[in-house]
Amino acid sequence: MEVVDARAALAPAISLVCAALVFASADNTFWRRFFSIAAALAKLVIVMSMLPGSLRGVVYTFKLVEFTEGVGLAFRADALGMFFSVVSSTLWLITTIYAIGYMEREPNRRRFFGFFALCVSTTVGVAFAENLLTMFLFYESLTICTYPLVIHDETPEAMKAGRKYLIYTLTGGALVLLGSIVTYQLAGTMTLSQPGILPLEAGRTTLTVLFVALIAGFGVKAAIMPLHGWLPSAMVAPTPVSALLHAVAVVKVGAFGILRIIYNIFGVALLRELGICTWLAGLAAFTILAASVVAIFQDNLKRRLAFSTISQLSYIVLGAALLTPLAATAAIVHIANQAFAKITMFFVAGSIQRATGKTTVHELAGIGFRMPYTMAAFTIAALSFIGVPLFAGFVTKWYLSLGALEDGAWWYALVMLASALLNAAYWLPVVYTAFFKTAPTAEVEVHEAHWTMLGPTLVCAVFVIILGATVSVPGMPFALASAAVKFVFGM
C-alpha cells in the first residue's frame, strides 16, 4: 500500500535545516549544540513515526519536483530504505552527542557540525530515494559534504587523504551517472520501486557492462577490493567523522547502493539469468578474507578498524550477490549489525585517544583497568565481529551461511568460518593487551572519558546485544529486513 506523505521528504530535509541553522549560529556554542541535538531528535522521531506503518507494509512516497516525466526528485520510504534510515538516524543522534564531547577544543567547529548534519541529510536522502537520479543526486552531495570533514585538520596529510578520497569517490560517482543514463535509455524509467526494471532484451553484453559500471560506481564507497584505497587514508579525519564515514554514511551508502542495483534495478531473476553475480560474490569473499589478513598486521588501532570495515562491508555485498532470500536478509541486517559494532569501536578508539593520546594497539597495555566501561564496550563489539552467538554479528554470519547453503555454494560458509577466525585473530589480542597486560608504571593518571563520550559508546554496545538477541521479536529491525526481502523475491 502506498501513501503520499511529506514525512518521506521531511526526514532528509530536517538535517538540511539543521545545517543551515548551525552555519547561521555563528560561533555560539550553545545554539550550535541545541540545533544539532534538536534536529537529530526530530529526525529520529519522524523516522520512528513511520516505522509502525512500514512494518505493516505501508510505503510512504513524496514527489518534490519533476524534471520531465518520471525523472525528478522523489522520495519513497519502502522497507529497505526505512531500515537504512532507522539505523542512520539513530546513530546520528548518538554520534552527535559523542562529537560534542570529542570536538570540545577543536577549531572550526561550526564547519564541522554544519557539514556533519548535511552528511546525514544526504544519507537519508539516499535511503529514501525513489529513483536512480535522486539517489545519484544525494550520493554525489554526500561526497562533497564529507570532504570538509575528512580534511578537518588541514594538515598536509589530511589534504592528501582528502584528495585521494575525492578522486576515488568522484570517479565512482561518474560511473554511477553513466550507468543511470544508460539505465534510463534502456528501461525508460529509473524508479527504484520495482523488483527489477531492466529487460533482458537489452542484450547480455550491454547489461553486463552496465552492471559492472554501476557496481564499481557504488563499490568505491563500499570499499570492495581493489577500490578500497581511500578508506585507510581517510583515517586522518577526527574520530567522530571516521565513525560516521565507516558506520553510518559513506560506506553504508555504497553498500546500500549495491543492494538497490541488485534488487531494484536489475532484479534477482535477471541477474540469475546473466550469472554475473557469482563473480561479484567471489570478489566479495576475497575482500572479506584479504582485508582481514591485512588488518592483523596493522598496529594503529584506527587503521586496523579501517581494514576491518572493508572486510565487514563485503559481507553485505556477498549476501546480496548470492541472490537467495536468506542471504539477502543477512545482507540487509548486516547494515545495522556492522554499523553499531563498528561505531562502538570507533568511539572507544576516540575516547582512548582523547584520554591518553595513544593510537596504537601495543600501547594499550593495562588500559582495561583504567577505562573499564570503555573497554567492556569494545569487547562486546569484538565478540560481535567474531560472531559469538547472542551478539549481532552472529546473526549475519548464520543467515549468510544458510543462504549460501540454500544456493548450494557451501564454500561461502567456509569463508564465514575463516573470517570468524581471522576476526578473532585481530580483535582478541587487543582485548588481551587491554585487560591482561600490566601498564607501564610511570603512567599519568588516566580516567574514563567524559560522559558525553562514554554514554554513546555504552548505548551502542547495548544495541549490539539487542540486535543479536532479539531476532525473533516482532517489531524489531529484523522484521523490516524480512519485509524488504519478501518484496524483492516476490514472496
Partner 1 sequence: MTPWPPLLALLIVVPLTGAVITPVVGRTRAVRSANWSLGVMLATSVIALVLVVQVARAGPFSYVVGGWLAPYGIELRFDEFGAVIAVICLLGTLAMVFSRRYAARAMAEQRIPYYYALLLLNLTGMIGFAVTGDLFNLFVFMEILSLSGYALVAVSGEKIAEMAAFKYLIMGAISSLVILLAIGILYALTGSLNMADVTERLGGAPAAPLAVAFGALTLGFMVKAAAFPLHIWLPDAHAIAPSPVSAILSGLVVKVGIIGMLRVYQIAYGSGAVDMRTLNHVLMWLGALSIVMGAFFAVFQDDIKMMLAYSTISNIGYIILGLGLASSYGMIGASVHVFNHAIIKATLFLGAGALIFQTGKRTLTDLAGVGHAMPWTVAAISVGAISIVGIPPTAGFVCKWYIALGAVQAGHPFFAFALVFGALFIFIYYIRMVNAFYFRQPRDPAILEVTEAPASMLVPVLILASLCLIMGVMGSVPLSFIEPAVHRLLLPLGGG
Residue with cell 581511500: 230
For partner 1, which is the closer residue by CB, 254 or 468?
Answer: 254
> How many of the other CB atoms lie within 10 Å of CB of 349?
24
Least CB distance to partner 1 at residue 170 (A): 6
The cell for 392 is: 549481532
Residue with cell 564541522: 112
> How many of the other CB atoms lie within 10 Å of CB of 33?
18
User: What is the rounded CA–CA span in Å between residue 462 and residue 347?
Assistant: 14
Look at phi and psi of residue 449 and say left if phi exceeds 0, alpha if psi is from -120 to 50, else beta.
Answer: beta
Least CB distance to partner 1 at residue 140 (A): 5
> How many of the other CB atoms lie within 10 Å of CB of 147?
17
Cβ proximity of 317 and 259 under 8 Å: no
The cell for 10 is: 521531511
Report the site for partner 1 in 113-152 (rule: CB under 8 A). 133, 136-137, 140-141, 144, 148, 151
Least CB distance to partner 1 at residue 72 (A): 7
The C-alpha angle 205, 208, 214, rounded to 5 degrees, equals: 140
Instruction: Specify burial of residue 375 (Cβ count, 10 A radius: 0-12, 13-18, 19+).
Output: buried
> How many of the other CB atoms lie within 10 Å of CB of 194?
13
Among 31, 34, 184, 398, binds partner 1 (CB under 8 A): 184
Least CB distance to partner 1 at residue 158 (A): 9
Residue 445 makes CB contacts below 8 A (sequence gap 6+) with none
Confirm or reject binding of residue 20 to partner 1 (CB under 8 A).
no
Window 239-278: contact mask with partner 1 (x via CB under 8 A): ----------------------------------------
Range in contact with partner 1 (rule: CB under 8 A) among 13-21, 181-189, 336-344, 354-362? 181-189
Least CB distance to partner 1 at residue 382 (A): 36
Least CB distance to partner 1 at residue 213 (A): 10
Window 390-429: contact mask with partner 1 (x via CB under 8 A): ----------------------------------------
Among 3, 16, 58, 159, binds partner 1 (CB under 8 A): 159
**Dmax (CA) of the chain:** 72
Least CB distance to partner 1 at residue 93 (A): 26
For partner 1, which is the closer residue by CB, 210 or 333?
Answer: 210
Task: Identify the H or E element spanning 315.
Answer: helix 301-321
Residue with cell 576516540: 350
Sheet (strand 71-77) strand order? 2-4, 59-68, 71-77
Task: Give strand pairing partners of 2.
Answer: 59
Range in contact with partner 1 (rule: CB under 8 A) among 59-67, 267-275, 323-331, 354-362? 59-67
Residue 34 makes CB contacts below 8 A (sequence gap 6+) with none
Cβ proximity of 172 and 142 under 8 Å: no
Cβ proximity of 47 and 89 under 8 Å: yes
Range in contact with partner 1 (rule: CB under 8 A) among 164-172, 297-305, 373-381, 458-466? 164-172
For partner 1, which is the closer residue by CB, 249 or 284?
Answer: 249
Q: Radius of gyration of the chain from Cα atoms?
A: 21
Among 3, 37, 55, 178, binds partner 1 (CB under 8 A): 178
Range in contact with partner 1 (rule: CB under 8 A) among 172-180, 321-329, 331-339, 372-380? 172-180
Phi, psi of 68 (to 5 degrees): -130, -175
Window 61-80: contact mask with partner 1 (x via CB under 8 A): ----xxxx---xx-------
For partner 1, which is the closer residue by CB, 133 or 320?
Answer: 133
Site size with partner 1, rule: CB under 8 A: 27
For partner 1, which is the closer residue by CB, 187 or 405?
Answer: 187
Among 28, 185, 194, 360, binds partner 1 (CB under 8 A): 185
For partner 1, which is the closer residue by CB, 96 or 169?
Answer: 169
The cell for 26 is: 555563528
Confirm or reject binding of residue 154 to partner 1 (CB under 8 A).
yes
Least CB distance to partner 1 at residue 100 (A): 23
User: What is the rounded CA–CA span in Å between residue 394 and residue 165?
Assistant: 32
Confirm or reject binding of residue 472 to partner 1 (CB under 8 A).
no
Task: Identify the H or E element spanning 72.
Answer: strand 71-77
Least CB distance to partner 1 at residue 148 (A): 8
Phi, psi of 60 (to 5 degrees): -95, 130
The cell for 460 is: 551502542
Among 177, 413, 431, 446, binds partner 1 (CB under 8 A): 177
Give residues in contact with partner 1 (CB under 8 A): 65-68, 72-73, 133, 136-137, 140-141, 144, 148, 151, 154, 159, 163, 166, 170-171, 174, 177-178, 181-182, 184-185
